[in-house]
Amino acid sequence: MIKEKIQNLDILMCHNSSWISKTIRLVTKSRVSHNALAIRIEKELFIIDAQRRGVNVTSFNQWHKKYKYNFYIYRPINFSPPLEKERIYQKAIESIGIKKYDFISLLIWQPIYLLTGVWNRTNQKRQKNRFYCSEFIAYCFEIPDGYKMSPEMLKEYLKINTDFISIYPMGVGFF
C-alpha cells in the first residue's frame, strides 16, 4: 500500500484535477500544484500542509480521500547535525493550527514574482505567521528565500540539492 512506503518528513509533490490545481500548474508551468509534509506519530501516517484553513494535520487516509492527490516524494537523506531532524519536525508540529494561509502571497506576490522576478512583500511579521504550501515546507527545512517559492520552484530546489532524493511516483497517473 502507498502509505507504508512514505517515511517521516517526506515531502510530497502533488496535483489533482481541481480547478485550483490546474490553475497553479498552468501559471507555474508545472505538473506540481501543492506540497505537503508527511509525519508519523506512533506508526500512524499524517500529512501536515497549508491549505485554505491554514497549516493543519490530517490523517493520510482522510487527506488522500479528500484531495485525491497524485504525488511523488522527495525524501531528505542527510540530516546534519542529527538534531536537525527533530528541529524540522518541531517546526512543523508547532505550526499546526497557528499559521494561517497566505492568500495574499499566493494571489498577488507570487504571480508578480513569476512574471517579473521581483519579490515585493515587505511585511516580515506577516511572512512568519502565514504560509502557502511550498512556503510552509521551505520554512520547516530552512530553505533560503523559501517564502518566494512556488511548488514548482521548491521541486526544482530539491531536485538539485544532494540532501534529498526523488522517490517513485505515487497515486494514479502522475506523469
What number does CATH give the domain 2-170? 3.90.1720.10
- Which tens digit of pLDDT belongs to each residue from 61-109? 999 999 999 898 999 998 776 668 889 999 999 999 888 877 666 666 6
- The domain ranges of the chain are 2-170
CA angle 26, 108, 24 (to 5 degrees): 20
Residue 119: its pLDDT value, please? Answer: 66
H-helix or E-strand spanning residue 131? strand 130-131
Cell match 507570487: residue?
A: 110
pLDDT class of 174 with cuts at 50, 70, 90: very low
- By C-alpha distance, which of 45, 48, 133 is closest to 88? 48
- Which SS3 state, helix, strand or coil, does residue 45 take? strand
| pTM of the entire predicted model | 0.85
CB 148 within 8 A of CB 119: yes
Residues 6+ apart with CB under 8 A from 51: 101, 133
Q: Which of 169, 114, 160, 133 is nearest to 50 (CA)?
A: 133
Contact assessment for residue 138 and residue 102, using Cβ atoms and an 8 Å cutoff: no
pLDDT, tens digit (0-9, with 9 covering 90-100), for 8-62: 999 999 988 887 778 777 777 778 889 999 999 888 999 999 998 999 999 999 9
